[in-house]
Each structure stands twice: as C-alpha cells, then as structure tokens.
Structure 1
Amino acid sequence: MILNLLKVIKKIISFLKNYKFLLPLLILTILFVWVEFNISKFAFLNTFQKKFLIFIMIQINLIFILILLYFIFRYLFKIFLEIKVKKVSKSLKFKLFGTYLISIIFPSLILIIGSAFFLKKSVDYWFKGFLREKFITNIMKTEGYYKDIEQELMQKGQEIIKDYISKTKHIKGKDLRWIRKIKYLATIDSIVVYTYTGKAYKKTYSSEARHLIGIPPSILEKIKIEQMPVSQISLIGSKAFIRVFIPTHDKKGIPYILSVGKLIDLSDFFSAKNVSPEDIYKIFNVFLLISISLILLLVIFIGVWVGSKIARNLTEPLQNLIVATQKISQKDYAIENISTLPASEDEIGTLIKSFKEMVERIKLYEEEMQKYTQYLKSILDHLPVGVLLLNKNLKIDYINESFKKLLEENQLLNTETFLNLLNIASLIDHVDSKKPFYKTYTLSKGSKEIVIGITLSEIFLFKEKAYLLIIENLEEKEKLKKLSIWKEVATKIAHEIKNPLTPIKLSIQRLRKKLQNNLDEDQKKILFKTTEMVEKYVEELRKLATDFYYFSKTPLPELKKSSLIENIKEVINLYEFAYPDLKIEFKHKNEIIFNFDPFQLKRVWINLLDNSIKAMEGNGKIEVEVYENKGNVNVIFSDNGSGLSDEIIEKFNSGEILDLKEIGTGLIMVYSVIKLHKGDIKIEKNIPKGTKFIITLPKT
C-alpha cells in the first residue's frame, strides 16, 4: 500500500515537473476563488469598490470560460485529426476516447447540471431568509455608517453599566424603560439584561421592536470565554436590528450581559448607497451561473484532456509497436529511432519491454543466419565447380562465382541462354530424388571446344521442391589425362634414348683414338669434325632424354627460404663463362628472399636461357629483370632473337601447351615448375623483336 502511494506521489511530482506552469496556475485559481467568495468581508473596500471588483471578476470568469472553450475544442480537433491521420490506431483510439467520455464525462455533466438546478432553487428559496440576512449583514459591517451606530450603542451601553447596573443590587425593568425613554429620548430601541444562561432577566423594547430576539448561543459562549463586547445585525422585516452585547455585573458581583439595540430602515440605507437586495440577488445569480458554467467547462476540459492522455498513452505505444513490426517485416531492426513512451511497469510497459527483447533475439538470430549464409556462400563460391540453384519453376535462385567465371573465361552466353542450350526442362524428367542425373556436353566456341559435365539433383528446401545443378569443366581433367599419358611416353622415350647413347659416345671416342694416328692431316680433320658432330648430337639427345625424364618425374617443390637473386646469378655466371660473345644484363634493386625450390627454379632459368640462345644463334642480348609487386615477385626474361609466332603465344598463354608441337620439352618443364610453385607464366612479343617471358611467383 505504501509502495503504491509512493509511486503515485512520484508520478505526480514527475507530472508537475513536466508541466511546471500548472502549479502556479492552480495556486492562482484557488486564490481567485477565495477572493470571489470572501469579497464581501473586505472591510477596506466600500460598496462601489466591491461592485466594481465583482464586475472585474465576472469578466475574468468569462475570459476563463473562453480559454477553456478554446482548449476543449482544440483538444477535440487534435484528437479527431490524429485519428484521421494515424489510420492504424484510429479505431482503438476513438473507442477509448468515446468510452471514457460516455462513462465519465456524461455522468459528471448530468451531476453538475442537476446540482446547478438544485442550487438555483435553493438560493431562490433561502435568499429571502438566511442568505439575504448574511449578505446584508456583511455589506453593512463594511460601511462607516454601521460602525458609527455600533460605536454609539457601545458608548450608551457603557454609560448604563457605569451609572446604573454597577451601582444597584436589584436591576428593575422600569428603570431600564426610564433610561431608554427619558434619558436617551427613545434613540435606542432595546435594552436587555441577560443572565449567563442566556435568559432575558430584565428588558425594555420600543414599539417597533416587538419581536423578542434572544442572544445567539455562539455570542453567549464567546462572551463567557473572552469577556469582550460583541456586535450583531439581525433582520426584522425590512429593517436591520443592530445590537451590542457587553459583559457586566451588578453591585453584588452577579455577572450579566447587557444588550443595547437599534433598528435601522434598510430602504434608506440602500438608497443612500445606491444599492438594493434585489441588485445583490441578481449579481449573485450571475456570479452563480458563471461559476457553475466555469466549473462545468473545467470538468469537460479535464475530462477531454485526461481522455486524450489516456487514449494517447494506450494507443501511441501500440502505434509504435505496429510501425516497429512493419519495419521488422522488412528486415529493418533499427527500432531505436522509433519514439516510445517512457518505460512503465504496467501491462503496456511489460509488452514494450518483451517486444524489445524479442526484437533483439530476432536481430541476433538474423545476424547469425547472415553469417551462416555468407559462410555457405563463400564455400560455394570457392568450389572448383559451378553451382546453380533452381526453384520448382526453373527460375534461378542462386549462382556461385565459379559458374560466372566459367562463362566469362570461355566466352559463353548468359545463364538463361546456357540453360536453354542444355535444354534443362527436358532433363528434369530424368531426375530422381534418390539418384542424381549426370551427363557430359561438348560445347563449341569458334575453333575451341569445351567439355563440361553436369549433375542435376532434386532437393527440398523449406518443404518446397528445388533443383541443384552442378557444372564441371572437364577440360582440366582432359589436360591432366593427356599430361599423364605424356609422362608415361616421356619416361619410355627417355629410357629408350639414354640406353644406347653411352655406348655410341664411347664407340665414337674409341674409333677416333684408333684412327687418328693412321690418317693423314686431311683425313684426320674429317675424322675429328665427324666425331665432334656425332658427340654434339649425342649430348643433345642426352639432354633431351634428361628433360623427358625430369618432366615425367617432376616432384613437388621442396620449398626453402633462399635468395632468388643469388639463384639467378649462379645460372647467369655459368652462361657468361660459356658464351663470352653473349651479353646478359641483370636488373634488380633489393635482395629478395622467400620460400622456393632452388634446384627446380635453376632448371627454369637454364631452359629459358637455352631457348633465347638458340633463337639468337649464340649472339645477341638477354635482359633479366627482377622486382617485387604487391606481395608477388616478377621475373622478366627478354631476348632479341627471332621470336615466337602469335599462335604459339596465344596457346601457351591459354595453357594449351600440350597441343603445341612447335615447342620443345624445355618450355613444358618450365610451365610445370612455375605452376607447381603456384605461380604464373606468360609470353609476350619483345619490341622491336624477340620474346619476353613474364613469370609471377607468390612471395608468401
């Protein structure tokens, strides 16, 4: 209970902080109402000033009424405008507002109107009596005329006490009549002596004051307690009866209360003051009507304002929740920017809190799904085969990068045309959900033929049928197949060639040694020239056999951290010594050290230099340049020899080296070693003449 009370107090304090102008306005309103109901008691104002102040207050009340009417219609207009604009929650907001008005405002209006009618009747009935007397009494008490009469009665009462009551042991009525008639010449209308029980002990009245009016109990008790004089105004017909009550005692010390009174004609008094009770009654009716209207409009305003706040506090969170759900349905989880009401501990607050927690969980789940999707997509994009996902209507839902690359590298048509070329619709009939369908195709692009294999499977995604199409480029397999055949052939050729070469070379050397002493000089020259030529071609055959053998047995590179510059220098130094007429220019800047197989790369440099020397016929210029570029190492061999044809360059660069009959096994070995190092090699024409080999090796 205490906790709930504290919560209510906190809410009230928070409300007053948000609406700081309400507290001063409430204080001013209370002060204004108090002034309205107590204006007749202000002794420092005369009748005219009071009438003028009442007129001003009536005008202020009318201004208040107009302000309240403005705010009422403003809030009503705003409510219905919001209902019209915010169509999402208009039904609920209208129902809440209408229900509140019907259940709270309507009964309040009936109660206020009924109370006003009852109050009006009561005023009409009681004004001639009690209320009329109270009004006249309050008006007269504030006038100087009444104060003069009160002072006169007080003075005469003190004289009666001093000259008679305090000196006599027995107060007599005839003495009081003599005092009233003879001494004061009937200028006072009543002299009454009351006991402390409120009983009239002795009295005398004029003929106009026949109706005996006793001492009011309240005045009696006040005199007993305070022992101070008290004055009173009572109405007798159309006259006002002014009395002064003074506490006293006789010669024996018995306490009494002396009352001295005088009648005043009200018509003369009000004529002199230019006011009448009827005027007062009319002013009071106007004031009463305006006050009731003000209260009525105030109740309506509070009802409309509270109803608007209640409807807003209930519908705005729901409106925001609806907007948030619409954003979430579009996978937009940034609901922090949506304005919400301050968090509370009621059902709406619990709903908003739970909704935010749900959105956070959905957001985390969506992020995890996106990460998982990106993970799967990355795997599919890095597969060496093309992957297509088709829905049940054979529309493409997904294509991986490998398939796009396949189309781009082989200059094929777009995806839809490619599927039509495969006649995919007819292949669906051959697909079994338990067993995939496989078929090979040979596609022609000009003079180039591309062999592909497709695998078509039926799958179910989210309870809907779909088709998975896997496209595999069989060209690499064909190359590997040819390469494996080449290696077998190369092994046999190398074996068959190398076996007779040694006996042939030894036989030639033995023949030359045996015959050189038995021949004359001319014959000896012919013998040496012939045997040298045979030995030369035997060595070429031996090198050819060695290359064949090496090509057939090319092992995986044994990578070790080495200097590429030193590796190339060793080979260049060897050729500069063997070919003094050959000019080799080696360009490099910094030392380049990374992991590679020194033995295999040396064979690459040897074969490239051999090819260049043959093309230049042993006389020319070779340039070797080494530099780093974006994590790679580039090696460029250039010569000014006869060069290679465009057809050879194109086929070599496209990787069709096995189809080239014009090149020897050396370039095939070079190509294989570079690829084993995960590098790349290209051939370009050297300007103005010759050939340029561009080798790229990864440094990591």
Structure 2
Amino acid sequence: MQRWLRIGFFGIVAAGVFLLIYAVAGGAASTRLGRFFPALIALNTLTTLILLIVVLRLSFKLYLNWRHNDFGSRMTAKLALTIASIAFVPCMLLYLVSAQFIGRSIDSWFDARIERALEDGITLSSDILENERGRLLFFARRAALSLSELPENQWDAGIEKLREDFESEVALIFQPQGNISHSSIAPDAQVKIDMPLVTDMVDSLEKKGFSLLEGESSTPDDPMRIRTLVPIYPNRTLENNCFLQFSNTVPIKFAQGARGLVEGFRDYQELTLTRASLQTIYRVTLTLTMLLTLLAAIAMALWFARTMTEPVLQLAVGTKKVANGNLVPIRELLGNDEMNELTKSFNSMVSQIAEAQKSAEKQRLATERSRAYLASVLSNISAGVLLLDSSLAVLLVNTAANVILAPSRVNPGDNLAVVEPRLAAALVDQIRIADTGSFHLDFELSRSPDPDVSLFIRGSRLELEGAVGWVVAFDNVSALIDAQKAQAWNEVARRLAHEIKNPLTPIRLAAERLSMKLENKLDPADAALLSRATSTIIDQVDAMKKMVNDFRDFAKLPPPSLKSVDLNALIEDMITFYHSGGIRILRELENPLPTVSVDAAQIRQVLFNLLGN
C-alpha cells in the first residue's frame, strides 16, 4: 500500500471514530441529534464499508499468496490471525458488556421516584410563587384602599409609608394615560419600571386588581419579578381612576432553582418520550464503533504482519539469489530494529561473499593461466612428462611422452603398469630405493621389430593433496647416443689418419731425395731400379694418403636433414641432460626466438662438442 493510501486510510478511520464520539456526545441533545445523527450514521457506515473492502482485499491477496505457496505467506497469515484474534476477543467482550450496560443505564434513568420528585419540586415552587403573588396582591389592595381615603396631595408621603409597611421594592401610581404621578422605590431595589397597558388597566378594574409573574422563561441571569396592578378607586371608571403597582424581585437562588426544576422536568419528559430511540441510537453507535475498531484492528494486523515479514521475505529472496550466484544486495528497509539490522548484516555478508568470489575468480584465472602456460610448456618440450600417483595411475601426460612411448599411448586415468609393464617395474624399483626423493636411470625401451629406444629417466617426489605422487621426465637419447658414437668414431678416425699421415710425408720426401741424390751416381741399370723403387714408394705413399683421406671422409657427418627447430627448447633439453648428471650450467637465452631450419641432430652434436670442450 502506498504511503498516501495509508495516510488516507488512517484518516478515514480517525474521522469515523471522531464522528462516532460526536454522535455519542450529541445523543442527549435531541434537537442536535435529530439534525445530525442520520448524516453521522451514514458517514460511519460508509467508513465501515471502506474498511471492510480494504480488509477483504488484503485477506484475498493473502489467500492467493497462500494458495500459490509464496514464501512467507503462511507466516504472514499466522501472524495476522494471531494479532486479529488478540484484538477480536476483547472487542467482542467489551461490546457485549457495553450493550448490557447501555440498556440497564438507560433504564435506570427513568425512575418513577425521580419523576415524582421533579413534579413535587415544581408544584412546591409554583405554590410558593403563587402565595407570594397573592400576598403582594393583598397588600396592594390594602394600600390602594388607604390611598383612596387620603387626598391626592398627600399621596407622596402616603405611598412611601405604604411601600415600607407592605415590604414592596417598587410602588408606582399611574394615571389612566399611563404616566407616573407618584412613586416610591427602595434604595437596594433593582429598578425596572414596567408601564401598564390600557388592557392591563381595564383588566385590573374588572378583577379589582391582578398579579403577574414576570421573567419565568428568561435566561438564568435575568431576575424574576412579581408585579401587581390594582385600581385605587374600584367604583370609578377608567378615565377617573388611578392605578397602584407594586413590584417585588424573587430571590435569585429561588428563581434559578425554580427554572432548573422546570427545565429538568421538561428534559426528563423529552427523554421519556425518546427512551426506545436512545437505546437504538446507542446500540447502533456502539455496533458501528465495534465494527470500526475490529476492522481497523484486522487491517492493522494484516498490514503489521506484512510489514514484519517483509524483511524475512527480502532475506528469502536474497538467499535464493545468492544460491543462484546473484550476489546483489537486497533492499534495506528504514528503521533500526533487529530485522533491519539482520538485513544489513545479510547485505554485508553478501558483499564479503562477492569480494571472496572475485578473489577466488582471480585466483582461478591465475591458476588457469598457469595451467595453460604449463600445458603450453609441456606440449612444446621434447622430453616426455608423466605425473603419477602412488599406484602409478597417470594423472597428467604431455604430447612428447606419447611420441616417445609410441606405439603405446598413455592417457590420464590409465595405469602405467598396464600400458608399459617393464617401464613401470623399473620405476617401482627406483622409487623403492630413492632416498632423497628423486632418482634417475637409463632404460632401454623395447620396440620390436623397430629398434630399441634408449631413455634417460628422471623422477621427483611430489605431494598431491595429502598423498604422494611422482613427476617422471624422460628423454629419447637414442639419437644422442648415436651422435656420441659418431663423434667417438670421428675422433678415432681423425687421430688414426693423423698418426698414419705423419710418417707418410717424410717417407715420400726421403724417397724423392734418394732418387735425386743417387740418380746421377749409379749406372743406368741401378738408376732405373732406383727410379722404379722410389716411384713405387711415392705411389704407395700417395695411395696410402688417399686411403687415409677416404677413411677420414668416411667418419664425416652425413648430409644435414633440415627441419624447423626451436633453439631455446633444444638448448633446454641439453642443459636438462647435463643437470641430471650433476653438472650445473648457467644460461642466458633470448626469449622468444624465432624457429630456424637446421639439422637438430647435428646442432645437438655441436652443442655436445662445445659443452664437452
């Protein structure tokens, strides 16, 4: 629910409650009730219907969520039902008690004794006022009789004395025209002169005087007075007569009490007439109040349950996202309660997981790059590499290993004892006697009908996640051995040719010198013999030289077989061979170098010669 809808909702509830309170407060005032009560009932009924629609809508939505097995719907329903039940039981109990109390309270208002007491009070106050009116009328008639016996020039003194004798506050003598001829007013009297009308004078002549109670229906602060008007000459006509008026003020407390009795009796009579209506009004008001309160409580329970479960739903959604690999923080709600703190802690955990995942991803990428680099290195070196566990199961193998071991083929997961039993047995023997965690050996790999392959094998111990493994590297040194043999034969041939050629030159020179020195000193026959002997020696020496040269040429290298070769890899293989023999060689290689077209065997022989020298 939007914020403005919630504000409007609570505003409607507050307005409904206020109007109900106003209706209850106006229940005793029948006029105001008759004017506003239908509108108040209509407004409160409308408010109740709006609340009912809101509650039904929220309940139906919660029911659909429960039917669809939405996460958190059951917890929300249980929490809302619990809170609504807590509000429902007190509301119903209060409603039942209040309904009984209203009925009995209204019945207690209408007691016969109270009505009789009000009637007696009104009768008593009426009797007192009536007696006071009769008394003042009697005094006025006696005063008028006394004045009629006096000459009119003595009325000023006579009216003053008569007012004091008959305890009147105001005494006035009026002419038939209505003007005052004589007057007497007590010092503390509340002066208010009421001019009699002609009708009052006529009525006074007919009745020999009359008395009036004035101010009976005025406001409580206005005084109540008793006024009498009597003719001084009862037997004269109106035109020849004068009229005496006595006025007395009723005591204020008595007047207020009398008015209160009259008003209270009037209100009591009105309440008596609307007794059934009052009960209906209060019961309707109470019912609407109960419905408003109960529906508001249910709506608040649904809203509160949804508000309380919203952080849990956020955590559930966030947990599913994290389980699916989506490490996006969830929406944090306002407030500092425990649920919001839990949401913040969850977001902090998600951020830490995201950082850890990024770090793990970086490490994985670095590991992948390292593995790719290692695979690239292993695939480009000429030495075969096997990674074996303690049972000689193959964990890793490079391309060169299968090239060297061909036609046998080793794949990860194979057992070397099955693929190459002789090689596996030789490795087991070396592993058993290895003291320093490494070993090396020469091994002849039989490849019938092809020539045997000479291998130089090196092994090192390796820890594999709590287990023991071995890294085995081996080179095909058959070509190297052939090159060493060729080099040794070349050396023998060179030395032999050198040793043979060394005496041939002096022999030839000696023969030529003998021929030159003795040719002119001998006879022709001997000279011819010497010439043939020296020629034979020279020819044989030349033949011997040619034979030595042919032998030397036979020991020379064959024509090169050119192929594209990585010089750095070739040098590394040579250095590795010497390192296995305990010879440490320092190197500085330019990396990378382009491949060159050479005879790898001859270049390897050159390197062996250089390193050997």
Using CA pairs below 8 Å that are at least 6 residues apart, which structure has the higher relative contact order? 2
- Matched-pair contact (CA < 8 Å) for 1:65–1:293: no
Matched residue, 2:269 = 238
What secondary structure, in the 3-state scheme, does the structure 1 residue paired with 2:327 have? coil
Distance in 2 (CA, whole Å) between partners of 1:19 and 1:675 is: 89
Tell me the amino acid that sits aligned with residue 124 of structure 1.
G
Matched residue, 2:487 = 487
Distance in 1 (CA, whole Å) between partners of 2:281 and 2:22 is: 15
Matched residue, 2:253 = 201
The counterpart of 2:342, out of the listed 329, 341, 348, is: 348
Q: CA deviation at 1:298?
A: 1.8
Matched residue, 2:327 = 336
Matched residue, 1:124 = 103
Matched residue, 1:498 = 498
Tell me the amino acid that sits aligned with residue 95 of structure 2.
A
Tell me the amino acid that sits aligned with residue 90 of structure 2.
L
Distance in 2 (CA, whole Å) between partners of 1:540 and 1:429 is: 48
Q: CA deviation at 1:25?
A: 3.9
Cα distance change, pair 299–320 in 1 and its aligned pair in 2 (3 A): same
What are the within-5 Å matches in structure 2 for residues 166-565 of structure 1? 169-170=188-189, 188=217, 200-203=252-255, 212=261, 235-239=266-270, 278-279=276-277, 281-314=279-312, 316-317=314-315, 320-321=318-319, 324=322, 326=323, 334-337=325-328, 339=330, 341=332, 346=338, 348-349=342-343, 351-352=345-346, 355-356=349-350, 359=353, 362-363=356-357, 366=360, 370=364, 371=366, 375=370, 382=378, 384-390=383-389, 398-400=395-397, 402=398, 404-408=399-403, 410-415=406-411, 416=414, 420-423=418-421, 435=433, 440=443, 442-444=445-447, 447=450, 449-451=452-454, 461-463=464-466, 466=467, 468-476=469-477, 478-501=478-501, 504=504, 544=553
- Matched-pair contact (CA < 8 Å) for 2:417–2:425: no
What are the within-5 Å matches in structure 2 for residues 98-177 of structure 1? 98=78, 102=82, 104-127=83-106, 169-170=188-189
What secondary structure, in the 3-state scheme, does the structure 2 residue paired with 1:489 have? helix
Distance in 2 (CA, whole Å) between partners of 1:458 and 1:45 is: 106
Q: CA deviation at 1:71?
A: 0.8
- Matched-pair contact (CA < 8 Å) for 1:320–1:338: yes
Q: CA deviation at 1:444?
A: 2.6
Tell me the amino acid that sits aligned with residue 473 of structure 1.
F
Cα distance change, pair 76–676 in 1 and its aligned pair in 2 (3 A): farther
What secondary structure, in the 3-state scheme, does the structure 2 residue paired with 1:632 have? coil
Q: Identity of aligned pairs, percent?
A: 8
Question: What is the TM-score when the length of structure 1 is the normalising length?
Answer: 0.46
Alpha-carbon displacement from aligned partner over 1:252-274 (angstroms, at most 9, x marks no partner): xxxxxxxxxxxxxx96xxxxxxx
Alpha-carbon displacement from aligned partner over 1:75-103 (angstroms, at most 9, x marks no partner): 3543x357x354xxx7xx8568746854x
Distance in 2 (CA, whole Å) between partners of 1:338 and 1:354 is: 8
Q: CA deviation at 1:289?
A: 1.6
- Matched-pair contact (CA < 8 Å) for 2:440–2:458: yes
Q: Which runs of 5+ in 1 are unaligned?
A: 1-15, 132-161, 214-231, 241-265, 268-275, 328-333, 552-558, 560-594, 597-629, 637-651, 658-667, 678-700
Tell me the amino acid that sits aligned with residue 387 of structure 2.
L
Distance in 2 (CA, whole Å) between partners of 1:546 and 1:432 is: 39
- Matched-pair contact (CA < 8 Å) for 2:500–2:548: no
**For structure 1, which segment, 40-49 or 466-475, has the greater mean C-alpha deviation from structure 2 after superposition?**
40-49
Q: CA deviation at 1:399?
A: 1.0
Question: What is the TM-score when the length of structure 2 is the normalising length?
Answer: 0.51
Q: CA deviation at 1:191?
A: 7.8
Tell me the amino acid that sits aligned with residue 26 of structure 1.
F
Cα distance change, pair 426–320 in 1 and its aligned pair in 2 (3 A): same
Q: CA deviation at 1:431?
A: 7.8
Distance in 1 (CA, whole Å) between partners of 2:367 and 2:40 is: 82
Alpha-carbon displacement from aligned partner over 1:642-664 (angstroms, at most 9, x marks no partner): xxxxxxxxxx7xx6x6xxxxxxx
Aligned length: 434
Q: CA deviation at 1:312?
A: 3.6
- Matched-pair contact (CA < 8 Å) for 2:385–2:472: yes
What are the within-5 Å matches in structure 2 for residues 538-617 of structure 1? 544=553
Tell me the amino acid that sits aligned with residue 402 of structure 2.
L
What secondary structure, in the 3-state scheme, does the structure 1 residue paired with 2:447 have? strand
Alpha-carbon displacement from aligned partner over 1:326-384 (angstroms, at most 9, x marks no partner): 56xxxxxx552364645968462574266347636754774586446865885686484
Distance in 2 (CA, whole Å) between partners of 1:204 and 1:356 is: 82
Distance in 2 (CA, whole Å) between partners of 1:46 and 1:98 is: 43
Q: Which runs of 5+ in 2 are unaligned?
A: 111-169, 173-184, 195-199, 201-209, 225-250, 520-526, 561-567, 569-587
Tell me the amino acid that sits aligned with residue 65 of structure 1.
L
Tell me the amino acid that sits aligned with residue 495 of structure 2.
H
- Matched-pair contact (CA < 8 Å) for 1:443–1:449: yes
**For structure 1, which segment, 486-495 or 20-29, has the greater mean C-alpha deviation from structure 2 after superposition?**
20-29
What is the Cα-based RMSD across aligned positions, in Å?
6.3
Greater share of helix residues, 1 or 2? 2
What secondary structure, in the 3-state scheme, does the structure 2 residue paired with 1:336 have? coil
Q: CA deviation at 1:120?
A: 2.4
Tell me the amino acid that sits aligned with residue 444 of structure 1.
R
Select the structure of larger CA radius of gyration: 2
Matched residue, 2:594 = 632
Q: CA deviation at 1:494?
A: 1.4
- Matched-pair contact (CA < 8 Å) for 2:80–2:298: no
Cα distance change, pair 445–434 in 1 and its aligned pair in 2 (3 A): closer
Distance in 1 (CA, whole Å) between partners of 2:277 and 2:31 is: 21
Q: CA deviation at 1:111?
A: 2.0
- Matched-pair contact (CA < 8 Å) for 2:497–2:548: no
Distance in 1 (CA, whole Å) between partners of 2:422 and 2:547 is: 59
Distance in 1 (CA, whole Å) between partners of 2:286 and 2:542 is: 143
Alpha-carbon displacement from aligned partner over 1:400-454 (angstroms, at most 9, x marks no partner): 4x3x432156353342386522359996996899755999562537635445577
Cα distance change, pair 455–488 in 1 and its aligned pair in 2 (3 A): closer
What secondary structure, in the 3-state scheme, does the structure 1 residue paired with 2:253 have? strand
Distance in 1 (CA, whole Å) between partners of 2:49 and 2:419 is: 90
Distance in 2 (CA, whole Å) between partners of 1:386 and 1:633 is: 23
